[in-house]
């Protein structure tokens, strides 16, 4: 669970590269693209431009480099040549990258074109909830502090938190200990130690927290078909707080605001 200084340096590089994937996507016109076209674009960028490996491809039998979850899809959406991203959609792109033996994991929910105000508000609150969780990370804090902060912010804004999926330790493997729940009680759970690395990835629903997995065995949707939004970062516990290893340039003001 605890990484050495050398291992953290390698994870920092993987995180930096993964952040650049999202910065590339920020400049794309997603409306009109198929989700498979986005997948292929990201695969080329990771392999050819960055000289890295898309860690999700082949993981647990998954054939693609990312998950693309549109509107009421909570997570694990499968790229499809026939699924076209449209103006007004919200879409979460969840991407992993491995470089020098270490994996980074991050996701962002994109506003495509001009979504309605209710969708924009959900996306904003989901991102805020992630940062509320990140703000709890420091040596001596507990995992329950993270989940409690996320859940409190979501519920305060009238939303629910998906409980079936959570953050996780990460390093040489995609999923390591500990599990990082998006709900909980302050002062409970594993004590955080300097050098621990894990993801924080709340999934926030507009309506009920109840979800189901579709027949493809991957795609998770809200039961009430209301919108869902997710954000995710890979973080490291530092001597005096937290370092966001997958931080993007556009998020530096957010990180400063939550320091």
What pLDDT tens digit does each residue of the chain (259 aa) get? 899 999 999 999 999 999 999 999 999 999 999 999 999 999 999 999 999 999 999 999 999 999 999 999 999 999 999 999 999 999 999 999 999 999 999 999 999 999 999 999 999 999 999 999 999 999 999 999 999 999 999 999 999 999 999 999 999 999 999 999 999 999 999 999 999 999 999 999 999 999 999 999 999 999 999 999 999 999 999 999 999 999 998 887 777 776 6
Tell me the DSSP string of 35-83.
Answer: HHHHHHHHHHIIIIIS--B-TTTTGGG--SSEEEEETTEEE-PPP-TT-
201: its two tokens:
């990835």
Rounded to whole angstroms, how far apart are CA atoms 42 and 37? 9
Rounded to whole angstroms, how far apart are CA atoms 92 and 105? 13
Rounded to whole angstroms, how far apart are CA atoms 258 and 252? 10
Packing angle of the helix pair 143-156, 117-134 (nearest 10 deg): 160
The H or E element containing residue 110 is strand 102-111
Whole-structure pTM value: 0.96
Rounded to whole angstroms, how far apart are CA atoms 130 and 133? 5
């Amino acid at each position: 669970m605890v990484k050495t200084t050398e291992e953290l340096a390698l994870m920092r590089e993987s995180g930096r590269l993964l952040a650049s994937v999202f910065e590339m996507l920020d400049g794309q016109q997603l409306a009109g693209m198929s989700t498979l076209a986005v997948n292929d674009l990201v695969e080329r960028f990771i392999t050819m431009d960055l000289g890295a490996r898309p860690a999700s491809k082949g993981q647990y039998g998954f054939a693609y480099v990312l998950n693309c979850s549109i509107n009421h899809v909570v997570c694990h959406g499968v790229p499809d040549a026939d699924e076209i991203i449209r103006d007004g959609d919200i879409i979460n792109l969840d991407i992993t990258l491995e470089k020098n033996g270490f994996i980074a994991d991050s996701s962002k929910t994109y506003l495509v074109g001009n979504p309605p105000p209710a969708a924009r508000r959900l996306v904003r609150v989901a991102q805020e909830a992630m940062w509320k969780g990140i703000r709890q990370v420091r040596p001596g804090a507990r995992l329950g502090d993270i989940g409690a902060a996320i859940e409190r912010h979501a519920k305060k804004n009238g939303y629910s938190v998906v409980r079936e999926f959570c953050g996780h330790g990460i390093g040489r493997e995609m999923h390591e200990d500990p599990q990082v729940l998006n709900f909980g009680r302050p002062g409970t759970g594993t004590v955080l130690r300097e050098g621990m690395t894990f993801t924080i990835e709340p999934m926030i629903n507009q309506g009920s927290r109840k979800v189901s997995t579709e027949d493809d065995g991957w795609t998770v949707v809200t039961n009430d078909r209301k919108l869902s939004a997710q954000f995710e970062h890979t973080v490291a516990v530092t001597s005096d707080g937290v370092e966001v290893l997958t931080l993007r340039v556009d998020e530096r003001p957010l990180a400063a605001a939550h320091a």
